[in-house]
Every structure is written in C-alpha cells, then in structure tokens.
Structure 1
C-alpha cells in the first residue's frame, strides 16, 4: 500500500443556509452543521482509503460564531493523520462574504475508520508529509489520538 499526499483527498463543499436549517432563534442549527461536517470528513476518508468508512468519534467541535439565513458556508476537509485502520480528518467551516472573504465559524476533528466489504476495519494508506505545516498538524494529531485513547480507557 503506497502512501498518499494530504492534497489528494481534500474536499470542499458549499452550502447556503436555508429556512429548514435554522433553530428556534433563527440561526443555523448545530446539528445540521454537524451533519455537513460528518459528510465532508467521510468523503475525505473515502478518497484517502478507497474503502467504505464509518465515523468513530468527533472531537473539538468548536462553534466560533453563528451562521444566519442566506449565509454561504464553505466546508474544507483534509486528512491530518493516518493510523493502521483509522484516519483523523480536520474540517474547517467558513462563512463566505459576497466578495469571497472567508470568516471561520467552526473547526472539528473526526476519527473515521476504513471498512472492508464485510464492514470490518481495514488498513489505510499512510500519509506523505510534504510541508512543515503538515508535519505540525501530524504531530498535533498524534497527541489528540493519545488523548482519545486515554479517554476511552478511562471510560469517558
């Protein structure tokens, strides 16, 4: 299995906040954004692994600011870490102004597991780290992975 570049599996999607996406106070419902984030993360993982995938966990879902009706949201997902059968995917969400200026509204990290045809975990390609920023993200991802393992062992 050959290693793959992070850039090989980047996904970018665009959504317009519509009335059916709003909560009772007229802002984007967090659950809708979480669904979009999960979809982007799974697409990134499928591109990297060329397998079926499932979400194992969601970390650090930080809501920085709200989104409102007719806002254009851009979600960008990229792989940050590849283990034996799991991948960490970072998804950043931005509100995009009419002039193209992007304002961050959310960042999330998800752990996605690759699945074979029998829905059993299967090995994934490794990552080719090509820049200092990718190396920093890889190192941070390893620390997050250690924290997830610790929390699972402690029953959190």
Structure 2
C-alpha cells in the first residue's frame, strides 16, 4: 500500500518546456515537419508534465484534439510548453502549446495546440489518485473550467 497523500499543487509546478530542431528525417517530401513526429513530441512533453504534477508514471488515456494552425519547416526550432489544466481523481488534462521559431527570419509563431488526458499509475500499472491542482491566474482558471467541459463532453460521447 502506498502511503502518499494527495497534495494541492500549482499549475506552474507542472510546466515542462521541450525544444526540438526540425531535421530532414523529421520532414515530409515538401520539407515540413511530419504530423506524426509532432504528435510524438507532444505526447512526450505532456507525459512529463503529468508525471511532474503527480510524482508518478503517467500513461496516455486520450488525445482530445490537436489543432494544426501553421506548417513547420525543416531548420525551424520547435518549442513545446505543457502544463496540467485540471486534475480529476486518477486522471488529468494536459494542455500543450507548440511554437515554431526561425532564427534566420527572427520570427516565432504559435503553430499548434493540443489537449491530452493522462492517468497516474502505480508500480503495477494500476490507476491511482493523483494530486489536486490549484489554478492561480485568470488564464489558468479559464483552462481549468474548460477542461471540465471537455471531460464532460468526452464522457457523454464515450
């Protein structure tokens, strides 16, 4: 039996930032980052955020959506920023924002957004309660409330 107590943690404590350089082996024939490669990076970044929040291994339960706003070119630098939007009993929603930056053109744009759900698991892979989360800023509070709406919608359509 695990003696860990649920804690109340802040959103900023779950923030993870990853940086990747888009190389030719990450690209399609047109020289743009493959969607699957970006999804892989998003999943890793979000999993790290969930683990940071829960202090446990976390597994992907669902990917609610990934919006592709702009293509990302070979040679650009991709920055992914993930944080927990809301924690439930054993699951949590993680939001990821993706930015592409061209150092040559001195331009940085928001290219993608994603919402994923992760579940905290124990050493045997069984779901366990996760820590609670306390939003502090108006943006965090908005994302906290929207996460509940997305969860209700997801559970109603399951």
Give the structure-1-normalised TM-score. 0.93
State the partner residue of 2:3: none
- Which whole-Å CA distance do the structure 2 matches of 1:131 and 1:27 have between them? 35
Structure 2, unaligned stretches of length 5 or more? 1-5
Structure 1, unaligned stretches of length 5 or more? none
The RMSD of aligned alpha carbons is 1.2
- Pairwise CA distance, 1:102: 2.6
State the partner residue of 2:123: 117
State the partner residue of 1:130: 136
Give the structure-2-normalised TM-score. 0.92
- Pairwise CA distance, 1:26: 1.9
Task: Encode CA deviations 1:112-149: one digit per residue, 9 max, x unaligned.
Answer: 01001110000011011212221111110000000110
State the partner residue of 1:105: 111
Q: SS of 2:66's equivalent? A: strand
Distance change >3 Å, CA 14–CA 100, structure 1 → 2: farther
- Which whole-Å CA distance do the structure 2 matches of 1:16 and 1:147 have between them? 36
1:71 to 66, 73, 76: 76
Residue 32 of structure 2 is aligned to residue 27 of structure 1: yes
Q: SS of 1:38's equivalent? A: helix
- Which whole-Å CA distance do the structure 2 matches of 1:25 and 1:114 have between them? 39
1:139 to 113, 133, 145: 145
Residue 86 of structure 2 is aligned to residue 81 of structure 1: yes
- Pairwise CA distance, 1:96: 1.7
- Which whole-Å CA distance do the structure 2 matches of 1:151 and 1:112 have between them? 18
Q: How many residues align?
A: 152
- Pairwise CA distance, 1:101: 4.7
Distance change >3 Å, CA 68–CA 96, structure 1 → 2: same
Distance change >3 Å, CA 68–CA 97, structure 1 → 2: closer
Task: Encode CA deviations 1:52-103: one digit per residue, 9 max, x unaligned.
Answer: 1110111120000001110111000011010000010000000123286530
2:12 to 7, 12, 16: 7
